[in-house]
A and B are shown apart, each in its own frame.
Chain A
């Protein structure tokens, strides 16, 4: 069992996948990382991208994450995936929006479109596209 590592991918809304893998690749914030069994304990943030899990039979599993956290604990890789787009300015915009709605509930006002949201959505869309393209390329090859 020394040459496999348990992988669990969960999001706040559901359990995405869990199983054994020989190698895990994840889009950490400082660049893509590869995790082999017996990796040192690690805690890192993820950016939008794909997670690949190589399995013993030579199969490979792909998952798209829009960010989140990854924990390595020697025998276990836990991916706490975000279901939503997270970015500092985007969260800020959401917070302001919620605040504005609360104010609006007391008095009425109209809203504007914000760029932070559009930008973060674009980033996610681009990452999603890349993941799909990779999957397609794999399917043909």
Chain B
């Protein structure tokens, strides 16, 4: 009966694992809902910002900001948004693959690469790969604060305005549905010109306080930051969705394993009983 006992302990341990994965699935589901809410809350700011940018494109601006300036790329920057924790399926790996592909395209053209990492998983990965990491931000938690990102972002944005990098890309996961997340690499800098707002009349300018240059600087900076922040928030939604799906399939797998083991266990038990009976019968016949 030794085989049956072993199988029983195995079933027990799989059941325990299943309990954990089920719990993680439910936690991820509720966190995903909250992350999606945050994604929606971040939307008005991005929309208002885009509006102001459109107005600004319409206004007769005498000052051209460095973020709009397009240069021949000699060195490019990537901001890679990843999750802090694992157990979320292929989410990070899919993104990294996309990033590496785009990186190798640049490298083939003889362009050098700087990287800013957001999230622990990305840090671990790109450290191993051996790219030049110029700044990082990790341990943002489920509720990322813009304040925690400022430093990491500024390193890259300064590098752009000082001409050390000529392009800046943001790599993050885009939330399509709960089941699908799409790795994306978008260009942040130079910013593409905003569409002028048609409803406003031509030929006017803002009053700027203190002056156009400083205000536009502040605006541009916040615009790019809001794009990055949005990417981070969206990535968290993706992380939760991916974790939920991964944990659900893990729970299902555990269920299948338990069913199979249960069958094996039953057979082993029956065999043991049959053997015992035949031994008794055999013994009785011998007497």
A binding-site residues for B, Cβ under 8 Å: 8, 10-15, 28-30, 33, 40-45, 68-69, 71, 73, 78, 80, 82-86, 91-99, 101-102, 105-106
Contacts and interface: CB of A to CB of B under 8 A. Distances in A.
Most buried by B among A8, A91, A94: A94
B127 A13 contact: no
B136 A105 contact: yes
Given A45-B214, A98-B135, 4 more contacts: A10-B44, A14-B42, A15-B41, A43-B52
Contact of B146 (A12, A15, A42, A96): A12
Given A10-B48, A98-B152, A45 B134 contact: no
B133 A13 contact: no
**B137, B210, B218: residue with the most chain A Cβ atoms closer than 10 Å:** B218
Given A80-B49, A98-B154, A105-B123, A45 B41 contact: no
Contacts of B48: 8, 10, 78, 80
Given A30-B210, A98-B155, A105-B136, A15 B45 contact: yes
Return the 10 tightest CB-CB contacts between A and B, nearest first: A94-B151, A84-B147, A98-B151, A44-B209, A95-B154, A98-B135, A98-B152, A14-B41, A15-B44, A43-B206
B260 interface: no
B179 interface: no
A41 B117 CA distance: 39
Contact of B209 (A45, A73, A106): A45
A44 B206 CA distance: 9
30 contacts: A13-B229, A15-B44, A29-B209, A29-B210, A33-B209, A40-B207, A41-B205, A43-B206, A43-B208, A43-B215, A44-B209, A45-B215, A69-B222, A73-B55, A78-B52, A82-B146, A83-B147, A84-B146, A85-B147, A91-B150, A95-B135, A95-B154, A95-B158, A96-B151, A101-B135, A101-B137, A101-B138, A102-B117, A102-B133, A102-B134
Given A95-B158, A99-B155, A12 B225 contact: yes
A80 B147 contact: no
B135 A99 contact: yes
B219 interface: yes
Interface string B23-54: 00000000000000010011011001101100
A101 B116 CA distance: 11
Interface in B127-169: 127, 133-138, 145-147, 150-152, 154-155, 158
A29 to B, nearest CB: 6
A69 B151 CA distance: 20
B196 to A, nearest CB: 14
B209 A83 contact: no
Contacts of A96: 151
B226 interface: yes
Contacts of A45: 209-210, 214-215, 218
A69 B219 contact: yes
A95 B222 CA distance: 15
Contacts of B44: 8, 10, 14-15
Nearest to A71: B52
Contacts of B49: 80
B127 A83 contact: no
Contacts of A106: 127, 133
A79 B128 CA distance: 43
Contact of A41 (B137, B150, B206, B222): B206
Nearest to A42: B207
Given A98-B154, A102-B133, A105-B133, A13 B208 contact: no
Nearest to A11: B45
